[in-house]
């Protein structure tokens, strides 16, 4: 019997045959894959940082303003950096409202459980006559049973309206009715509902819209003159229905009750630069809005910039860490990478950008020994108080268009884009190169697998034959031993 196993022996020898090549491929694949993962992490960290820059830039100003309303129920207010500090007085005698009308099936001329007139189209004149909606009743008949329900009409109107109005089903005393709502407030968004012949619907709708535009224009003139406005009944081919809410403009006075009167379709007033006021109640009592610098929010904005930068720096440092053999801490996957080291150095250099002779250091942003930065709150507050516009100019703006970028943030964005650009960026090129390496290692692995299989088959054939020979010799030796033992006796 053989003293060894041909299968395990052949495998061991085949493994030894390809060991050097296999080790090289395993090591190369592991390193390349590690770098792919690391560069993806770096891409994510850079993208997160530029997103933070974009968020800060989107505020329009690092220096924050606050707008305080004297009576919280009267309005809400917000102020941008362009708003002038001060106190503004308002009074609101009327809020803008959106038209809301309710129609029964009888008013629509469509009695339940009866056939609808086939040559009929509903027309909604809306948006002050600048638009209209047409609904052929036959198109609303979803189940094609020759009859219409309130639900079918509402669905069809919502589909046809493109957001100009909304339709809903309301049940009143067991009866379903059609509720139409204008999606915007103000006289200019009032609407009327009509029925016309389908054969002449296009011309009729256009004429109805033009007539309604003239009506609304007259109403707006009347409103601007301060005369009470009453929405006219539908008349003619119009469908009256029940008006639950009238379309009306907001009426407010800047400077209080005796100030300049303003009439507008919206309850959002933006007539003062940088100030946005959302009216919430009509009252005979005036209220004030006070605009002032918000030091706490300004500091928070700046701290957000500092934190975002430090998060990026720490992510880079982790990827490029040298490691420590004594403490068994592994080196980072990008340790010794000159490109990433250059990125780190360039970011630090760009932070020192000076605009108009002013840098972040002047605003209390200082570098720490570990490469992060810190904010000196007292120094920052004093510098902002002395030169708030200087901080906005220094930090600048990000933008998708390079020529619109400015300041430190714009410069950082432009540089980081050279790394993160999805087609020409440095990281894209590096990743492409690593993927080629991995593809080559995959081909090398196929070659190694083939050589291993060839060696294994060769060794298996040889050692199987040797095992058979050993077994044969063992049998022969036993036979001879038995023969000689019998002869001696």
Are 99 and 184 spatial neighbours (Cβ–Cβ below 8 Å)?
A: no
Are 420 and 50 spatial neighbours (Cβ–Cβ below 8 Å)?
A: yes
* pLDDT at res. 143: 87
Are 215 and 232 spatial neighbours (Cβ–Cβ below 8 Å)?
A: yes
Mean pLDDT for all residues in the chain: 88
Going by the DSSP 8-state scheme, the letter that residue 132 receives in this structure is E
The reported pTM is 0.67
253 DSSP β-pair partners = 91, 261
The DSSP code sequence of 296-307 is: HHHHHHHHHHHH
Measured distance CA(278)–CA(265) in Å, rounded: 12
Alpha helices in 150-259 (DSSP H): 150-161, 201-224
Helices 407-420, 426-488: axis angle to 10 degrees equals: 40
* Of 92, 100, 129, 68, residue with least CA distance to 267: 92
* pLDDT at res. 235: 46
Provide the token pair at 228: 């009470």
Burial per residue of 127-146, b for 16 or more beta-carbon CB atoms within 10 angstroms, e otherwise: bbbeebbbbbbbebbeeeee
Measured distance CA(94)–CA(105) in Å, rounded: 33
Backbone dihedral region of 396: left (phi > 0), alpha (psi from -120 to 50 degrees) or beta? Answer: left
Provide the token pair at 289: 């809005």
The per-residue pLDDT for range 338-364, each reduced to its tens digit, is: 999 999 999 999 999 899 889 999 999
Are 49 and 308 spatial neighbours (Cβ–Cβ below 8 Å)?
A: yes
User: Residue 278: which H helix or E strand, with range?
Assistant: strand 275-279
Residue ranges with strand state E in 57-174? 65-69, 75-79, 86-94, 100-103, 120-126, 131-136, 165-172
Provide the token pair at 421: 């650009």
What's the number of CA atoms in the CB half-sphere (13 Å) around residue 215?
A: 21
Provide the token pair at 433: 């190169």
Are 99 and 247 spatial neighbours (Cβ–Cβ below 8 Å)?
A: yes
Residue ranges in the chain whose pLDDT is less than 50: 1, 234-236
SS3 327: coil
* pLDDT at res. 232: 64
The per-residue pLDDT for range 196-236, each reduced to its tens digit, is: 899 888 898 888 888 888 888 887 887 777 776 666 654 44
* pLDDT at res. 489: 53
């Amino acid at each position: 019997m053989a003293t060894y196993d041909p299968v395990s022996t052949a495998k061991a020898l085949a493994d030894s045959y390809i060991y050097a090549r296999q080790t090289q491929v395993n090591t190369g694949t592991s390193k390349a894959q590690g770098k792919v993962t690391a560069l993806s992490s770096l891409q994510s960290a850079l993208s997160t940082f530029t997103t933070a820059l974009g968020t800060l830039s989107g505020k329009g100003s690092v220096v924050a303003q606050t707008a305080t309303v004297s009576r919280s129920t009267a309005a809400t207010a917000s102020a941008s950096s362009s708003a002038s500090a001060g106190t503004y007085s308002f009074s609101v005698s009327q809020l803008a409202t959106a038209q809301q009308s309710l129609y029964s099936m009888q008013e629509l001329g469509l009695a339940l459980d009866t056939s609808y007139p086939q040559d009929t189209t509903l027309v909604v004149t809306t948006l002050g006559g600048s638009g209209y909606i047409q609904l052929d009743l036959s198109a609303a008949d979803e189940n094609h049973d020759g009859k219409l329900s309130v639900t079918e009409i509402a669905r069809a109107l919502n589909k046809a309206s493109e957001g100009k109005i909304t339709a809903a089903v309301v049940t009143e005393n067991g009866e379903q009715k059609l509720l139409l709502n204008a999606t915007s407030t103000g006289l200019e968004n009032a609407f009327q509902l009509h029925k016309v012949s389908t054969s002449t619907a296009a011309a009729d709708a256009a004429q109805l819209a033009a007539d309604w535009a003239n009506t609304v224009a007259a109403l707006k003139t009347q409103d601007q003159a301060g005369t009470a406005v009453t929405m006219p009944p539908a008349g003619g081919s119009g469908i009256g229905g029940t008006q639950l809410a009238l379309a009306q403009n907001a009426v407010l006075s800047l400077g209080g009750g005796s100030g300049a009167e303003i009439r507008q379709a919206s309850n959002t007033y933006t007539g003062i630069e940088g100030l946005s006021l959302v009216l919430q109640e009509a009252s005979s009592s005036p209220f004030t809005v006070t605009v002032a610098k918000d030091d706490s929010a300004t500091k928070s904005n700046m701290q957000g910039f500092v934190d975002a930068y430090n998060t990026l720096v720490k992510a880079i440092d982790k990827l490029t860490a040298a490691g420590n053999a004594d403490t068994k801490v592994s080196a980072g996957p990008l340790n010794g990478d000159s490109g990433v080291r250059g990125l780190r150095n360039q970011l630090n250099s760009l932070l020192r950008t000076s605009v108009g002779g002013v840098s972040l250091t002047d605003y209390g942003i200082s570098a720490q020994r570990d490469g992060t930065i810190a904010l000196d709150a007292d120094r920052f507050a004093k510098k902002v108080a002395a030169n708030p516009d200087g901080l906005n100019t220094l930090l600048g703006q990000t933008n998708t268009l390079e020529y619109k970028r400015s300041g430190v943030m714009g410069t950082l964005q432009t540089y980081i884009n050279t790394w993160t650009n999805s087609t020409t960026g440095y990281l894209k090129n590096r990743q492409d190169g690593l993927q080629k390496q991995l593809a080559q290692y995959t081909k090398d692995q196929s070659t190694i697998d083939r050589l291993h299989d060839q060696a294994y088959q060769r060794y298996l054939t040889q050692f199987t034959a040797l095992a058979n020979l050993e077994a044969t010799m063992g049998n022969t030796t036993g036979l001879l031993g038995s023969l000689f033992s019998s002869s001696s006796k």
